[in-house]
Structure 1
């Protein structure tokens, strides 16, 4: 039994709709990567504020107060890194990749962990200075 022209058009439209859905999922995965990168930049900015506070308040007395304020920004950076890794992992678990090659959740987690370790080391250095 041959398909009619209308059936072939319907099949083509269905295929196009499926392609558009696949591309939308790929765009969402790539947007998730950009969002993750934005969160990482924001965390690094918080670390930069912590370091900047040490430079600005170097001779500030009591020194523990300036260090405590800088530590707040380090804590904020650590929370941002953790939230970014968690949300990126959750988003990737919900969406499947079709044509795009998105970064893996493990790679994003590894980056967040390394930046967190760097943030902790920055805090230790600030307290030792």
Structure 2
């Protein structure tokens, strides 16, 4: 009888470990999804600026594009913060754990590049103004 109880406990612990592994994988997929959303927002900002470059007043198109680009930067930053916080609480058992440092650096680079892009957008000259 004692052996059966030990076996049941081992199985319960194994199922708990697997659940934690699934959560690690779900966190990685969620992070990737939010990064795609960040790139989409940045792309919408660039597309808006390109499509409505001759918009009158010209600052309005730049302003709307900047909002989307900064939104993309914020999404990237928030995605890494949430994913890293979750992954730091979890242990992986049978799956490879994503590298938290790589997730952070990717988001830092995306965030910095988006902010630089938004700043550069305001220094671009319209071809019709020259």
1:37 corresponds to: 32
1:80-100 deviations in whole A, cap 9, x for unaligned?
Answer: 011101101110122111111
Structure 2 residue 9 is the aligned partner of structure 1 residue 14: yes
Corresponding residue to 2:55 among 55, 60, 65? 60
Structure 2 residue 100 is the aligned partner of structure 1 residue 120: no
How far off is 1:56 after superposition?
1.4
Q: CA RMSD in A?
A: 1.1
Aligned length: 124
How far off is 1:124 after superposition?
3.0
1:51-85 deviations in whole A, cap 9, x for unaligned?
Answer: 11012111112211110111111111111011101
Q: Secondary structure at the match of 1:42?
A: helix
Q: Secondary structure at the match of 2:59?
A: helix
Q: Secondary structure at the match of 1:84?
A: helix
* Residues 115-124 or 98-107, more deviating: 115-124
How far off is 1:101 after superposition?
1.0
- TM-score (norm: length of structure 1): 0.90
Structure 1 gap segments, 5+ residues each = 1-5
Q: Which has the larger radius of gyration?
A: 1
- TM-score (norm: length of structure 2): 0.90
* Residues 37-46 or 94-103, more deviating: 94-103
1:25 corresponds to: 20
